[in-house]
Amino acid sequence: MVNTKVELCNITLDNPVIPASGTFGFGYEFAELYDINCLGTFSFKGTTKDARFGNPTPRIAECDRGMINAVGLQNPGVEAVIANELPKLKECFNKPVMANVSGFSVEDYVYTCEKLDKEEQVGWLEVNVSCPNVHGGGMAFGTSAEAAAEVTRAVKAVTTKPVIIKLSPNVTDIVSIAKACEAAGADGISMINTMLGMKIDLKTKKPVIANKMGGFSGPAIKPVAVRMIYQVYEAVNIPIVGMGGVSSAEDVIELMLAGATAVEVGAANLIDPFAARDIVNDLPRVMEKYRINNLSEIIGGAH
């Protein structure tokens, strides 16, 4: 019997499969389709201090081996998430959930994280300093080691739960940013977020997305994710939550060998709402195929 359990920041997961923020709503939407308690956990929709309508439409474009999105962090704001979304989630999910937080200033991040840190259901705070499709925030913090470290320090000062910083791949040196976050007190690193992409309509001769650019995700970015996870694993001593183009149990194993402790599934959920469940169910078969008895023993195994 294979063992799929892993430990993320001192919290045990039944398996390492985590639907990624922005692709799984607040969980209860998917609970209508299957029992989401089969998942390790999931990262809920990116939450900001105030409600956001998001970017103008169109904000989704299909591409070869992936998609571009510029949703722009549409969410009801942290107070509404705590009052309305978390109680609905509690009815269908009995595990700690990962709270994904975005902001447009250090003060925004601090306010939202401090609020969510007090919620019993929240196990980890995934602090997104890497959203490529909002103006005046998000990725601006994630492209500078100093700014990412400043957000990390400020959030850690007001929270008690593990803080996992979600990094952008749209940088020259992701290792230096990861190290700066670790030095500032981060409990983990989450990577990679989407890459900055664009698509032009040949008929209109204009960008397909109203925002012009957006986050490119899907299977096409997986080799970049594997490379960056591998590099950061060699440089830090805190766990990595890996993601980027994951759509199978084999992909989960590959990212774990590169150095991920747990693995998020993003764009695949938007193509097939059962994707994360099917990956969980297929993990034991793939582990047996590659003679893996204990998943936690393969973390960083490619090094």
pLDDT (0 to 100) of residue 141: 78
Angle CA 299–186–164, to nearest 5: 65
pLDDT (0 to 100) of residue 71: 87
Per annotation, catalytic residue among 9, 38, 92, 131: 131
To 10 degrees, what angle do helices 106-117 and 145-156 make? 40
According to DSSP, residue 44 is labeled: P
Evaluate the CA torsion angle 81, 87, 93, 97 in order and state its sign. Answer: positive
Sheet arrangement for strand 188-191 = 17-19, 262-265, 240-243, 188-191, 163-166, 122-128, 97-101
Q: Which value, in Å, is the radius of gyration of the alpha carbons in the chain?
A: 18
Position of tokens 């402790």?
Answer: 261
pLDDT digits (tens, 9 = 90+) for 74-106: 999 999 999 999 999 999 999 999 999 999 889
pLDDT (0 to 100) of residue 73: 87
Low-confidence stretches of the chain (pLDDT < 50) are 133-135
pLDDT (0 to 100) of residue 131: 61
pLDDT (0 to 100) of residue 138: 52
End-to-end CA distance of the chain: 26
pLDDT (0 to 100) of residue 54: 85
Domain boundaries 6-298, corresponding CATH code:
3.20.20.70
In angstroms, the Cα distances linking 36 to 60, 74, 91, 273, 275 are 26, 23, 11, 11, 12
In angstroms, the Cα distances linking 116 to 88, 121, 158 are 16, 9, 11
- Catalytic residue check, 131: yes
pLDDT (0 to 100) of residue 139: 57
- Residue 28 has which token pair? 């209860």
Distance CA(137)–CA(203), nearest Å, equals 33
Residue-range domain boundaries for the chain: 6-298
Q: Is the pTM of this model over 0.85?
A: yes
Distance CA(242)–CA(260), nearest Å, equals 5
